[in-house]
Chains A and B, each alone.
Chain A
Amino acid sequence: MDWNQSTINHYLEKQKKRQELIHYFVSFVLMILFTVLAFVAVMLRDSINDYLIAIFIVTMAIVQVVFQLYYFMHMKEQDHGFPALFLYSGASVAFLTVISFVSIVWIS
């Protein structure tokens, strides 16, 4: 038996890749699920309170985006401190802008 370090490393590498692939599939299925749930909620708008649906679909969108960012765009991996800093800075500016435009009294 030739169980030297390189074969073990090769095996571990393969296992890691398989794990990664499973993560991608699971997050993709969840993203599809969140999308379908949001559309179903809107189709049921006659029987459910509108505000409840609005809160639900916005939550679904945020959860889906988190999956996209952390799994598909690799933000869960190491060395992603600066990407996180850039993205969250941008997102907070965007959030402030949206909040101020939604609550501005001179338009609505």
Chain B
Amino acid sequence: MSNAYELSIEKLPNPEKATLEGKNKFLGFWFFLGGETVLFGTLFATFLALRDKVGNGPAGHELFSITTTFISTMILLFSSLTSVFAILALKDYRLRMMQFWFWVTILLGLCFLSLEIYEFFNYVKEGLGYKTSAFSSSFYTLVGTHGSHVFFGILWISTLMIASYKKGITTVTAPKYYIAALYWHFIDVVWVFIFTVVYLLGILGG
């Protein structure tokens, strides 16, 4: 091959969709998100059906704090914006910038997770165990499934970031970063419904 055929990857727009593999990953990931929507739909349905069945345990409006919910919501919303910045940096092939914004995303995710664990810890202390009532089981299952998604997202993005120091931005790695950011946005989408349906409607119901 002569030098005339040597192409610089930086000239290639949208590296995340440049290869068939990247396109397939994108398509397959959206299919997965469709399935996740159904999963969370069933958990929301169960929660909505059982949220008044508090038995002898405490009800939602006795436990939920509007301040904590607001702080977690803002943390997750901001982490959604930082992952948008990471993808913008990816499209410009600015590796350091992308790593920085993804690390900020991970940090915000960790803050959210710690707040949620602290919150659950307090609920258990106030007598809301997993088996206390139908409300408590459906609440912990729904919010806990979301929390485990956040946990998985943190693991996923941090391993990608550790690998990115060696692998950089190529047509192989770009789809991975792009899809991880999509996953993170989806986590935020689910949280929007959780803070509205579980927390705000819960406080309202009291």
- Which residues of chain A have a CB within 8 Å of any CB of chain B? 20-21, 24, 28, 31-32, 35, 38-39, 42-43, 45, 50, 53-54, 57-58, 60-61, 64-65, 68-69, 72-73, 79, 82-83, 86-87, 89-91, 93-95, 97-98, 100-102, 104, 107-108
**A interface, over-half SS:** helix
- Least distance between B168 CB and chain A CB atoms (Å): 21
Contact of A86 with B204 at beta-carbon distance under 8 Å, contacts A61-B193, A102-B49 already known: no
Report chain B residues within 8 Å CB of A101.
45-46, 48-49
Q: How many residues of B contact A (CB 8 A)?
A: 45
Whether B33 contacts A108 by the Cβ 8 Å rule is no
Q: Which of A57, A58, A73, A90 contacts B37 (CB 8 A)?
A: A90
- Least distance between A82 CB and chain B CB atoms (Å): 6
Whether B45 contacts A102 by the Cβ 8 Å rule is yes
- Contact residues, B167-206 vs A (CB, 8 A): 182, 185-186, 188-189, 192-193, 196-197, 200-201, 203-204
Report chain B residues within 8 Å CB of A97.
38, 41-42, 45
- Least distance between A102 CB and chain B CB atoms (Å): 5
Whether B49 contacts A104 by the Cβ 8 Å rule is yes
- A96-B154 Cα distance, complex, nearest whole Å: 31
